[in-house]
Amino acid sequence: MAAAGAIFPDKTFIAYARPTRERLTLELIEELAAAKRRVPAFAYSIVNATPSNVEKKMANLPNAVRVRMLVPDLDLIPEKASKSARYSFTKNIPSLTATATQTASWLAEVMEAQVDGGATVLLTPSLLLENGHGEVELRRILEWADTARSLRKVQAYPVVTGLVMGRDWLVKEEKRENLLNVLTEVPDPAFQITVHWPQMGSYSQVNDSDALRGYREVVEVLEDDSREVIAARAGLAGWMLAACGAAAYSAGVYPSHIYKDSPTIRRSKGSHPPPRIPHYLDGKLLSYIPEARLAAVSAISGPPNCSCPDCSVLAGGYQEPAAFRHLLRLHSRLAATLASKTEPRVFARGKVLAAMSLIENNPLQLPTFVTSHLDVWQDVLS
Amino acid sequence: MTTIADFQVLYRLSSPSARKPQCAHEEIERAFDGERCRFLGSGSFGETWRIGDDFAAKIIVNDLFPAERIEREIEAARVDHPNIVHLEEVREIGLAGERRVALLFGFVKGTDLASKITSEGYVKDETQLRGLAVGVFSGLAAMNTKRVIHRDIKPENIQLRMGTVARPVILDLGLAHVADLSSLTRYPSALGTTAFMPPEVLRGEHAVARSDVFAAGVTLFIAATGKHPWLEDGKQVTNVEYAAMIAGGPPETELYDEELDVLIRDTLHRQAFRRPTAARSIERLSR
């Protein structure tokens, strides 16, 4: 049940975009919102974007997008030295250079840039809570949030405390307990939790069972304590975490939007990027399915397993924009369905079990890595 | 995670110190303008005297008593609530030629919970017990809103107004602490009374508001049963053994009031974040 004064009164899907590839996502959101489709929230990473560019993008969003967030991203930690040279973030929002000794004026800059950019919900910057330690960083993050809420320009806005953490903070009981003891003690009404997931295949979903189990406990405890959690950039696992108690989750149209450990930015000199394999997100299988298997899956459960108009397009042949539009619609619909259930976790587990059954009983010949998360998820949801 | 050295945990229900005063009776009366004075007890800080009908003075006579603890108590006692002892005045007095700080609190007529249980046994009237719980949690909730953590909740520090169990007043804010963010993740040495300490404090982490809830839970358990949830009266165990006992969960209170029974058990959870807040505890008892 949504708490009074909640930032996210329903289970909310937040469409996430990065400036390097945002054009398509923005167009999709505009199109969906114009068609009165449900995309109530949008988060935009502001690394590598000029303030005027950010402002323009946010201003152009349709009114239907009620929650607008600008993310002071920390993508580049822990490899900031090499990547900072590559990205011109210092001209924009300098949270990438954040250290435990940032000044109050820096914090004000980060927060006020979001207000100026047109955000309706503000997010505090985070430091990475690394696996081995991070207590000092946690304290500093919460101090920033405390200070941020008191800034004159910020006071009129709901503020979400950003937390970026290694999986140890979810997996190790002592660290998780310490985290929860601290988070339930501070007055912060909402937290965005972004986990540095271990590396996984491009089209895999998060299947780190220990971390997901710990994450479930974190969202359950915080929900019980009337705090809202955004499970950020965990792909469809965010939906599962929303079923466990997260108020919202964010995901982008690209698998690379899942926040993974040490993402590779530079390739070796002269090498070419591997060709991108077209995939679409299947609502019944809760997995990314390669285009090559689209026909086989459709033969069993109908075109990409939902009734959206883009699925008819996909049925006639794969098109990336249609696959992406379908993905955003699907996320929105999945989130909305959770909001309508009295026991969202039970409902979500039922969906996962149904997906497993479909795969088990039909010769779909799917690569195992695209569906290996399902068994983990049904266990986490049980 | 920081760990602290092993130490012994001892539980013994006792009423406040009945030792003889070190300060001369006449000196105290003179310091308080001839008001009628009566010795109430002593602690590491010095002595507590009743002054006239309406005040209790906590007189700091121990020169080594940390000044910051006095300051903290003054700050904490500014929480104005019927279930928290009220600080009326801070006064400097002359005692045997020395200048001493005296904290003047409103005197709460009645007896403390430890004395009540010692003399009359556990609280059999469950309505009174529920009133005790609501009163203690109300006081703690008021402290929480000001980010004050008491850190020494125990039956000896719960005064019962007019001896009525359902009218508790939290005393002795000497270990109280105004929590700030730095204190949440820094690990100091454990303060408080060991038999009322939750696991996070036993292992050297800082007390949080829910640590007070745990101590309140132990206090309520004692009030409800006459026994400590885990420790035998007078028997010592190590902090490690005690933490293991807590991890096993609390025994049954056998209360008829099921809501209160469940609440007490929940407040005694080994993990702080699993315990209800003081405010939530009141809500649960008010349903």
Q: Return the residue of A nearest to B277 by Cα.
A: A225
- Is A138 an interface residue toward B (CB < 8 Å)? yes
Interface check for A224 against chain B (CB to CB < 8 A): the answer is: no
> Residue B13: which residues within 8 A CB-CB, separation 6 or more?
B114, B117, B118, B155, B222, B228, B233
Partner B contacted by A184 (CB < 8 A): yes
Q: Which residues in chain A show pLDDT less than 50?
A: 1-2, 75-96, 263-266
Name the DSSP class of B275: S
- Please give the model's pTM, rounded to 2 decimal places: 0.82
What pLDDT score was predicted for residue A349? 97
**Structure confidence at residue B64 (pLDDT):** 80
pLDDT at A257: 75
pLDDT of residue A26: 66
Q: Looking at residue A269, what is its pLDDT?
A: 59
Predicted pLDDT of residue A87: 40
Which among A107, A185, A186, A227 is the top mutation candidate for probing chain B, defined by the most B β-carbons within 10 Å of its own β-carbon?
A185
Spell out which chain B residues touch chain A, with contact meaning CB-CB distance below 8 angstroms: 1, 179, 181-182, 184-186, 200, 205, 208-210, 271-274, 277
- The CA distance from A297 to the nearest CA of chain B, in Å, is 44
Could B181 and A183 be called an inter-chain contact, meaning their C-beta atoms sit closer than 8 Å? Answer: no
Distance between the two ends of chain A, CA-based, in angstroms?
20
Would an 8 Å CB–CB cutoff place A3 in contact with chain B?
no
The minimal CB distance from B185 to the residues A139, A146, A221 is found for A139
Residues of chain B with Cβ-Cβ distance to A136 below 8 Å are 185
How far does the CA of residue B99 sit from the closest CA of chain A (Å)? 40
**Close Cβ partners of B72 (under 8 Å, ≥ 6 residues apart):** B173, B174, B175, B176, B177, B178
Is B186 in contact with A182 (Cβ distance < 8 A)? no
Of B181, B182, B200, the CB nearest to A181: B200
**Residue A82 confidence (pLDDT):** 44
Question: Which among B179, B184, B210 has the least Cβ separation from residue A139?
Answer: B184
3-state SS of chain A is CCCCCCCCCCCEEEEEECHHHHHHHHHHHHHHHHCCCCCCEEEEECCCCCHHHHHHHHHCCCCCCCEEEEECCCCCCCCHHHHHHHCCHHHCCHHHHCCCCCCHHHHHHHHHHHHHHCCCCEECCCCEECCCCCHHHHHHHHHHHHHHHHCCCCCCCCEEEEEEEECHHHHCHHHHHHHHHHHCCCCCCEEEEEEEECCCCCCCCCCCHHHHHHHHHHHHHHHHCCCEEEEECCCCHHHHHHHHCCCEEEECCCHHHCCECCCCCCCCCCCCCCCCCCEEEECCCCEEEEHHHHHHHHHHHCHHHCCCHHHHHHHCCCCHHHHHHHHHHHHHHHHHHHHHCCCHHHHHHHHHHHHHHHHHHCCCCCCHHHHCHHHHHHHHHC
Residues of A in Cβ contact (< 8 Å) with B277: 184, 225
- Whether ipTM exceeds 0.85: no
Interface contacts (A, B; CB < 8 Å): 51
Record: contact A225-B273, CB cut-off 8 A: yes
Backbone φ and ψ for A328, nearest 5 degrees, come out as -65, -40
Per-residue pLDDT at A231 = 97
pLDDT lower than 70: segments of chain B: 1-5, 15-19, 174-192
The confidence score (pLDDT) of residue B10 equals 77
pLDDT of A182 reads 92
Across the interface, which of B182, B209, B274 has its CB nearest the CB of A185? B209
pLDDT of the residue at A323: 87
Which one of A181, A220, A229 makes the best mutation probe of the B interface by having the most chain B beta carbons within 10 Å? A181
Query: What is the least distance, in Å, from the CA of A180 to any CA of chain B?
Result: 6
Sign of CA dihedral A144, A145, A147, A153: positive
Indicate yes or no: CB of A186 within 8 angstroms of CB of B184. yes
Chain A nearest CA to B273, separation (Å): 5
| A134 contact residues in B (CB cutoff 8 A) | none
Contact between chains at B271 and A177 (C-beta distance less than 8 A): yes
- Using CB atoms, pick whichever of B181, B200, B274 lies closest to residue A139: B181
CB contact under 8 A, B185 and A185: no
User: Which chain A residues are closer than 8 Å to B273 by Cβ?
Assistant: 177, 180-181, 183-184, 221, 225
